[in-house]
Amino acid sequence: MLERYSIQPPQGSRALINKAYRMDELTLMSELIEKAALDSRQVTAIRQKATGLVEQVRAERKKSTGIDSFLTEYSLSSDEGIALMCLAEALLRVPDNATVDSLIKDKLTSADWKAHRGQSESFFVNATTWALMLTGKVLTPEKADTVLSKALFKVLNRSGEGVVRKAVDTAMRIMSKQFVTGRTIHEALSRAKKKEAKGYRYSYDMLGEAALTAADAKRYFIAYQNAIEAIGLNVDKNATIYQRPGISIKLSALFPRYQESQHERVMAELPPKLLELAQLAKKYDIALTVDAEESERLELSLDIIERVFLDDSLHGWHGFGMAVQSYQKRAFYLLDWIADLARSKQRRMMVRLIKGAYWDSEIKKAQMQGMPEYPVFTRKVFTDVSFQACAKKLLTMTDAIYPAFATHNAYSVAMVLNLVGDYKDFEFQCLHGMGKELYEQIVPANRLGIPCRIYAPVGSHEDLLPYLVRRLLENGANSSFVNRIVDENAPISSLVEDPVSKANHLLGKINQNIPLPASIFLPERKNSSGIDFTDREAVAKLQQLYAAMDFSRWHAKPLLAGKQGGEVDRSVTSPQNFHHPIGRVNNATAEDLNWALTKAQQAFSAWRCMPVNERAACIERFAELLEAHTPELLAMTCLEAGKTWNDGIAEVREAIDFCRYYTMMAKKLMAKPMRLHGYTGELNELSLHARGVIACISPWNFPLAIFTDQVVAALVTGNCVIAKPAEQTSIIATFAVELMHEAGIPVDVVQVLPGSGEVIGAALVADHRIKGVIFTGSTQTAASINKTLATRGGEIIPLIAETGGQNAMIVDSSALLEQVTVDVITSAFGSAGQRCSALRVLFVQEEVYPRMIELLKGAMAELQIGDPRWLSTDIGPVIDNDALAGLKAHVHAMQQEHEIIYQCELPEDCDKGYFMPPTVIALKDMSALKREVFGPVLHVISYKRKALDNVIEQINGTGYGLTLGIHSRINQTVEYIRDRVHVGNCYVNRNMIGAVVGLQPFGGEGLSGTGPKAGGPYYLLRLCHERTYTVDTTAAGGNASLMSLPEGF
């Protein structure tokens, strides 16, 4: 299982690299401090040199017209800086004027541009500020305080929003020009000549982010080819390969599925493309450097680089290079592998040592995935130490490596200069538009005469946007050296500190601002642990566990107190292969149900009287057992429920999070009564108490997470539970209850009854011994349960029902369509569309509708549909034949009147299971949908911007209210929609599935459920009685507490 072929753990130097992937930060830093350490004379000399560089930079700053000054004036700590980043990210690609005007108004009306006018000595900054300030005045007609501003206001106001649009567009293009070398490679080559004459070199980067589609990848490949040809035809024939300009390549731009899970496809398709580009670079004897990307892609990139580098066609060429990110914990060990590879072919490899550009996303991703450690350092100074250690190491490998030190940090520059001594066969590197004043002290022949290669983006303004945002985030932050070196308020001494000395003082101190992923919710609760499927050693261990796993013992049966129950067993098969038996099920009988209810009633008194801390301890032990049994639970969710591995680990983690969240909440709510206000001489308390026996009826689409959610919430509040899992996934539920018993929860307190809803579920709900029902499933079944409870007589008991939704996403023309595409694919087709929260209807503003459909079709063509046992599978089967037949019938019916925009092809081996191809259908409006379609079918609707209210009416008109997605860069639009659409969970500029316990409590309104939200602070209250206790404390005579009060003054 896990992959079609056996994954081998890394060997040799690759094993050392992998060991450091998520190594304990302080342990690794202790080692790197030793490797990076310099003697006191060197440190003193470096600080003196760095101080001189900073002083020269600040002196030169007065002449600055570039982005360094701009970043200082508009730092990311200001509203204006944030507004600028949002504008830059969206403005230049929005196609319609109305949305452009709304975007400008949204970002500029609340910002104080006037405060920045004339504050900078840079003409560039002041010109931009004036444009922004004036447009802000147009859009916010506040009282003008000077004759000039009044006059300008009137002129611009009379001119209308077109002038505003032009002014802001000009300001944004001025800023963009600071980052881009040229719109075409020819323009970039022409602009570079002036700098090249001063001693600078260039490495050109064809702008564009990761390819989403095959068409994207083809376009990027052709752009790289053309760039290499253009560079090669313009080189100085007398220059060496290192003196010549080069090209930088992003592997993610060459293949739309460049990720570890697609290893087989990647290795078949990507290396030939990179080899072809390398051969072309060799033809012109120019350098080609592979850019570093996210940490999860590193191992895969090494496989590709190794295959290409070892190809005999590149013999004698010393221009192949790669970037190494010093913020990654693996950087120091990666250098050994690079040197060994180069020496094996007796060639040199160029190594660009950088700090790294994805730090914020690396931190967030590790937290979200519950990783044991971060792949990057959490402190900037630790990255500086790593950079220094790597720099020292590189300079011992110059037989195999041509070193390039990419930095804008004066101390790092001075450190490298100290280490190299008289050695000249190296270079610095910087980003175009940044660090100009620093390298003007280094590169010119009348200064130090040391070359610096400029990383030069090439492309249209539209292609610039993601790169621009990353640069702004990376260098606009207050801690950035680029920001602080030109900030006169930052003392020079703080800019030239020895990172080794500073890091030494931090050893033994965990970064409290960035706790480990497991600790981000402490002190209240632990975060659940995930599995890194990009870690080959971890995957290899999983494979070994599965090879030894005995699936034949999987057996779902009634788990009753003091009795064996169940009918004759039946075989269970997997939804991906209905010929493959995976276990057995014994359904419960009516007699079993009566027995379970009797035992649960008898157990209730003792369980409810147990202190909440003791009940919570049992649940916490259950969470630990779930974590310990993660591999088997993963296998169960895969084989019984048809879940992919990523969906499976998310489900196990969610179950664990429910346990820890509800125990935390129960201890807060139930540990002691709440003291209420009272008159003097009176005591008032409010306390929560269990209700009795709760029926938990759970679905097949989240057979562990929702099952655990229901059962644990009832148990921790002191109730006993009869659990009725979905027929399709009884094995998972039975195993979970066995673990609950192992954790110390008595067998008569939680019992499980596999069986049909008609036989077990209906009888369970109708029995008067049931004091509450928790149900997740269809709206129709919830209504039936509600009717039964209303007509059975006796006391009124609570029903918590979480049902379906006709979930929509609204995408306006300011949205980044590439991000929208990823989020739509995830939301609509993840888990084969079998989530209550899944996207069913996509509304797209008409101006961007054609491009959205083009991207969606291209991305869907890359999806891997098939057996979820394989790690490469994106979309697995639907749950059973009834589900498949219903989906096929819906698509067939839609075909009669509506256009099927795209439907994925099913591989041949899908005929053994219940596989539904992801499908997209165009509709005119939502009226064509009469019911929820529970599977991988997406409906898309084009809408006019002025018809947004009609879109909102359509969504509300369904009666459902579960989830909503909004993609817009205009806050006012987001708030407008949010205030009017009646849904339980609203997600902005992200996917709309995967609600996290305690962070996004889940549940809807209207036809989508009763509330309260699962995984939220009010859920447990519905499972409790509330009781007050009032005592007249003066009844014994006199009010002692009142009489003893001191005099008030």
Residue boundaries of the structural domains of the chain: 13-65+178-504, 67-177, 549-673+683-802, 808-1018
User: Under 8 Å CB-to-CB from 224, ≥6 apart: which residues?
Assistant: 206, 247, 249, 253, 254, 277
pLDDT-derived band at 148, boundaries 50, 70, 90: very low
Segment 250-255 shows an average pLDDT of: 97
The pLDDT > 70 percentage for the chain reads 86
Q: What six digits make up the tokens of 504?
A: 């030494």
Segment 894-913 shows an average pLDDT of: 95
- DSSP codes of every residue in 362-402: HHHHHHHHT-SS-SB-SSHHHHHHHHHHHHHHHTT-TTTEE
Return the axis-axis angle of helices 849-860 and 817-829, rounded to nearest 10°.
50
User: Under 8 Å CB-to-CB from 619, ≥6 apart: which residues?
Assistant: 659, 662, 663, 712, 715, 716, 743, 745
Q: What six digits make up the tokens of 379?
A: 């402190």
Please confirm, yes or no, whether 899 is among the known catalytic residues: no
CATH number of this structure's domain 549-673+683-802, picked from the four choices 3.40.605.10, 1.10.10.10, 3.40.50.300, 1.20.1560.10: 3.40.605.10
Segment 24-53 shows an average pLDDT of: 96
Q: Which residues pair with 430 in a beta bridge?
A: 454
Whether residue 125 is predicted with pLDDT greater than 50 in this model: the reply is no
Q: What is the pLDDT of residue 123?
A: 41
Whether residue 29 is predicted with pLDDT greater than 60 in this model: the reply is yes
Pairing assessment for the beta strands 427-431 and 401-406 based on DSSP bridges: parallel
Whether residue 1027 is predicted with pLDDT greater than 70 in this model: the reply is yes
CA angle 656, 659, 665 (to 5 degrees): 140
Tell me which residue has tokens 């991207």: 855
162-166, 395-399, 745-749, 961-965: least confidently modelled range = 162-166
Segment 882-910 shows an average pLDDT of: 96
Q: Which residues pair with 458 in a beta bridge?
A: 182, 206
98-112, 387-401, 682-696: least confidently modelled range = 98-112
Q: Are 370 and 518 in contact (CB under 8 A)?
A: yes
- Phi, psi (degrees; rounded to nearest 5) at 684: -130, 130
Determine the Cα–Cα distance for residues 496 and 571; give it in Å rounded to an integer: 71
Whether residue 254 is predicted with pLDDT greater than 70 in this model: the reply is yes
Please confirm, yes or no, whether 802 is among the known catalytic residues: yes
- DSSP codes of every residue in 460-514: -HHHHHHHHHHHHHHHHSTT-HHHHHT-TTS-HHHHS--HHHHHHTTTT---TTS
Segment 201-208 shows an average pLDDT of: 91
Domain spanning 808-1018 has what CATH number? 3.40.309.10
Q: Are 108 and 90 in contact (CB under 8 A)?
A: no
Higher pLDDT, 69 or 894: 894
Return the axis-axis angle of helices 948-957 and 971-980, rounded to nearest 10°.
30
Strands of the sheet containing 799-802, edge to edge, are 563-564, 559-560, 750-752, 720-724, 693-697, 770-776, 799-802
Whether residue 137 is predicted with pLDDT greater than 50 in this model: the reply is no
| Strand, helix or coil for residue 284 | helix
Average per-residue pLDDT for the chain: 89
Catalytic residue among 25, 802, 847, 932: 802
Q: Are 60 and 68 in contact (CB under 8 A)?
A: no
Pairing assessment for the beta strands 1024-1032 and 682-690 based on DSSP bridges: antiparallel
Predicted confidence (pLDDT) per residue in 364-395, tens digit:
999 999 999 999 999 999 999 999 999 999 99
Whether residue 449 is predicted with pLDDT greater than 90 in this model: the reply is yes
Catalytic residue among 390, 836, 904, 910: 836
Q: What six digits make up the tokens of 14?
A: 């690759």
Q: Are 455 and 248 in contact (CB under 8 A)?
A: yes
Q: What six digits make up the tokens of 573?
A: 């098969």
Q: What is the pLDDT of residue 135?
A: 42
Q: What is the pLDDT of residue 134?
A: 38
Determine the Cα–Cα distance for residues 740 and 615; give it in Å rounded to an integer: 12
- What is the CATH class of 13-65+178-504? alpha beta
The pLDDT > 90 percentage for the chain reads 75
Segment 848-858 shows an average pLDDT of: 97
- DSSP codes of every residue in 826-886: HHHHGGGG-STT---EEEEETTTHHHHHHHHHHHHTT--BS-TTBTT-SB---SSHHHHHH
Q: What is the pLDDT of residue 141?
A: 36
Q: What is the pLDDT of residue 151?
A: 40
Q: What is the pLDDT of residue 150?
A: 44
